[in-house]
């Protein structure tokens, strides 16, 4: 388990209900500005055993990135259950729901 992985996990866990963060935003907050794809990997590998709110992570365009039908529907359901409105079957309004991760030093 690398320090980067641990930071990513901690950051994702800090996303409040009804808010979302993007892969790139998390990578940057964890100290690797170009590590968005690593965040994806970590999410895939750790979401089960670490109880992460994986559904609060979306791509930079503000859309649900998962392509698999079942997972896609599940993510929609989980987000909507937290009050996040999804438009055009895929888009989340970053204006309203993006979590500005405040890194207090």
Contacting residue, 6, 61, 81, 93, with DNA by CB under 7 A: 61
Stretch that binds DNA, among 17-25, 76-84, 97-105 (CB under 7 A): 17-25
Report if residue 43 touches DNA, rule: CB under 7 A: yes
Judged by CB under 7 A, how many residues of this single chain contact DNA? 29
Start-to-end CA distance of the chain, whole Å, equals 23
The angle formed by the CA atoms of residues 52, 11 and 68, to the nearest 5 degrees, is: 45
Q: Using CB under 7 A, which of 11, 19, 20, 23 touches DNA?
A: 23
Cα 8–Cα 35–Cα 17 angle in degrees, nearest 5:
40
- Residue 53: CB atoms within 10 A of its CB come to 19
Q: Closer to DNA at the Cβ: 19 or 55?
A: 55
């Amino acid at each position: 388990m690398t320090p980067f992985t641990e930071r990513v996990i901690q950051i994702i866990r800090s996303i409040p209900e009804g808010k979302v963060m993007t892969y790139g935003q998390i990578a940057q907050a964890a100290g690797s500005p170009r590590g968005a794809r690593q965040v994806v990997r970590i999410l895939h590998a750790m979401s089960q055993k670490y109880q992460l709110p994986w559904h609060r992570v979306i791509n930079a365009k503000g859309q649900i990135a998962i392509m698999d039908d079942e997972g896609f529907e599940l993510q929609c359901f989980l987000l909507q259950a937290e009050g996040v409105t999804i438009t055009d079957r895929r888009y989340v309004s970053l204006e309203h729901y993006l979590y500005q991760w405040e890194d207090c030093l």
